[in-house]
Chains A and B, each alone.
Chain A
Amino acid sequence: MQNLKTDVLVIGAGPAGSMTAKWAAMSGAKTVMIEKRQEIGSPVRCGEGMSKAWLPDVGIKPSSRWINVEVEGARIFSPAEKVLEINEKHAGNEVGYVVERDAFDKQLAIDAANAGVEVMLKTSAISLLRDDGHIVGVTAKQFGQTFEIRAPITIGADGFESQVGRWAGLPTNLALRDMDSCIQYRMTNVDSDTRYCDFYLGKVAPGGYVWIFPKGDGLANVGIGVQVSKLRNPADVKMYLDKWIAEHPAYSKGKKIDMVGGGVSISAPMKETVTNGFMLVGDAARMIDPLTGGGIANGCIAGKIAGEVAAKAVTANDTSKQFLQAYEKGWRAKIEDKLYRNWLAKEKLCTLPDETFDKIIDALQGVKLEKLTVLNILKAVHDKYPEVTKEFEAFL
């Protein structure tokens, strides 16, 4: 393989990478996207639930090729299994689709390729190239051959397991409390209601939750995330999920047809995501919502901004950290507030005993909330269990 030169180099072809590459190419930059896997989107490491309001903004057209089910809302189950139903109106359009993630990822890569991006499969970044304090591309490996790809702008979109960010010197390290370890079965023959995505909270999944995302025709993703700092023994995550399934007949009669795992960051937003010649995007930049664990939307929203800024930097012939602040500011303006608020809420929720979860959900039974904001919830809880809201004074 010969050494290559391009304007913009994107590492990783997940949703964040494909969006970045597509928007860089559409904004006029010669763009290469490398992916270490042989098949984009596979294996799937995802619950496959996502909201939908953001899709038009980033130029993604909903398609039956990747949508399994359009849900009406979410149901949150307290430890005593009292239910809070959140519908589209409450959730401010946050509800959405259960998708076929590999088809979704492939479609975004197709969109990128059609916009002019050069996509290279089975190509891993193995180290960064540096020149005069700037990152100027990578050393890559493909089919056993090592070569260089040089680019004035390099973008790390290498997902949760990101090594590129750390090579660039950005602070991506996670503490044990900043990560949920996850496992999920795709199950058939289960009675899941296709109108809802279901979430079970409390000690069934310390510092996380059990999710059931329906895929239609008796198929559902049944998964769990548990905060790593709350794990005691090896394989505890699998044990928690197996136990939960065993205790729920609607699911224990189901049959498992695949199994995936993975890590999800639940940290506060990163302080810095750019350096000279380099930007970090998506899970690699710890952009997962720390409350919901969802990362597809944020990765795509930030990806569009990264791609546009990358092309501008190339045109302006300025790839300095200062110039790339346009990306840093751009993504923060769109998602940082919510990431931070949800991180605060998550920090609190992880400390609550099961009884408190039960009280909160109980207090919300039958209450007509206009919009489901933290403040509205707390007001409703305050009317019934004032002692519970004492714990949340910081939020009021």
Chain B
Amino acid sequence: MPSKKTLHIESSGQICIYCGACVGICPLNCIYLDETRITFDEKVCTRCEICVRACPVGAIEIG
């Protein structure tokens, strides 16, 4: 179930290194990586925080 928490992927180049680790592990297959652009499907994401743990540089926040 989508929850009220918000997920933010800092993908402007400040933190994200476009490595695709989050894309490969998201159980709902809802993150997309296009060269240097990361997007995720707000409606599908359950805020399970798995991608937050998998990101090697801490670019994903849930609050």
Q: What is the interface of chain A, defined by CB distance below 8 A to chain B?
A: 36-38, 43, 45, 124, 159-163, 166-167, 173-174, 176, 179, 181-183, 228, 231, 233-235, 237-238, 259-263, 265
CB distance from A259 to the nearest CB of B (A): 6
Residue pair B27, A237 in contact (C-beta under 8 Å): no
Within 8 A of A (CB), among B6-63: 17-21, 23-25, 27, 29, 32-35, 50, 52-58, 60-61
A-chain residues with CB within 8 Å of residue B52 when the two chains form the complex: 234
Residue pair A43, B54 in contact (C-beta under 8 Å): no
Residue pair B29, A235 in contact (C-beta under 8 Å): no
The 8 tightest CB contacts between A and B, nearest first, are: A235-B58, A261-B19, A234-B58, A237-B56, A263-B21, A161-B23, A161-B20, A183-B56
- How long is the Cα–Cα vector from A153 to B19 in the complex, in angstroms? 29
- Given A124-B34, A228-B54, A235-B57, check contact A166 B24 (CB 8 Å): no
Residue pair B17, A261 in contact (C-beta under 8 Å): yes
Residue pair A262, B19 in contact (C-beta under 8 Å): yes
Residue pair B35, A261 in contact (C-beta under 8 Å): no
B-chain residues with CB within 8 Å of residue A259 when the two chains form the complex: 17
- Given A124-B34, A260-B19, check contact A234 B24 (CB 8 Å): no
Inter-chain contact total with CB atoms closer than 8 Å: 85
- How long is the Cα–Cα vector from A285 to B40 in the complex, in angstroms? 23
Residue pair B24, A179 in contact (C-beta under 8 Å): yes
**Interface pairs (23), CB distance under 8 Å:** A36-B35, A45-B19, A161-B24, A161-B33, A162-B24, A176-B25, A176-B53, A181-B21, A181-B53, A228-B50, A228-B53, A231-B54, A234-B60, A234-B61, A235-B55, A235-B56, A237-B56, A238-B58, A261-B56, A262-B19, A263-B20, A263-B21, A263-B54
- How long is the Cα–Cα vector from A167 to B32 in the complex, in angstroms? 14
B-chain residues with CB within 8 Å of residue A162 when the two chains form the complex: 24
Q: Contact check: which of B19, B54, B60 meets A179 at CB < 8 Å?
A: B54
- How long is the Cα–Cα vector from A167 to B29 in the complex, in angstroms? 9
Residue pair A176, B50 in contact (C-beta under 8 Å): yes
- Identify 18 new A-B residue pairs, CB closer than 8 A, beyond the known A166-B29, A235-B56: A36-B35, A37-B35, A160-B21, A161-B20, A161-B24, A162-B24, A167-B29, A176-B25, A176-B50, A183-B17, A233-B58, A234-B52, A234-B53, A234-B58, A238-B57, A238-B58, A262-B19, A263-B20
- How long is the Cα–Cα vector from A321 to B20 in the complex, in angstroms? 30
- How long is the Cα–Cα vector from A161 to B21 in the complex, in angstroms? 7
Residue pair B25, A228 in contact (C-beta under 8 Å): yes
- Given A36-B34, A163-B29, A261-B19, check contact A183 B24 (CB 8 Å): no
Closest A residue to B61 by beta carbon equals A234
B-chain residues with CB within 8 Å of residue A167 when the two chains form the complex: 29
- How long is the Cα–Cα vector from A1 to B33 in the complex, in angstroms? 23
Residue pair B54, A181 in contact (C-beta under 8 Å): yes
- Given A163-B29, A166-B29, A179-B25, check contact A262 B53 (CB 8 Å): no
Residue pair A234, B55 in contact (C-beta under 8 Å): yes
- Given A161-B33, A263-B21, check contact A181 B27 (CB 8 Å): no
Residue pair A174, B19 in contact (C-beta under 8 Å): no
Q: Contact check: which of B20, B58, B61 meets A262 at CB < 8 Å?
A: B20
CB distance from B5 to the nearest CB of A (A): 15
CB distance from A372 to the nearest CB of B (A): 31
CB distance from A284 to the nearest CB of B (A): 9
- How long is the Cα–Cα vector from A77 to B21 in the complex, in angstroms? 27
Closest B residue to A235 by beta carbon equals B58
CB distance from A190 to the nearest CB of B (A): 21
- How long is the Cα–Cα vector from A122 to B25 in the complex, in angstroms? 24
Closest B residue to A124 by beta carbon equals B34
- How long is the Cα–Cα vector from A96 to B42 in the complex, in angstroms? 45
- How long is the Cα–Cα vector from A194 to B48 in the complex, in angstroms? 43
- How long is the Cα–Cα vector from A241 to B52 in the complex, in angstroms? 18
Residue pair A261, B57 in contact (C-beta under 8 Å): yes
Of B52, B53, B61, most buried by chain A (CB within 10 Å of CB) is B53
Q: Contact check: which of B18, B24, B53, B60 meets A174 at CB < 8 Å?
A: B24
Closest B residue to A160 by beta carbon equals B24
CB distance from A79 to the nearest CB of B (A): 22
Residue pair B25, A238 in contact (C-beta under 8 Å): no
Closest A residue to B62 by beta carbon equals A234
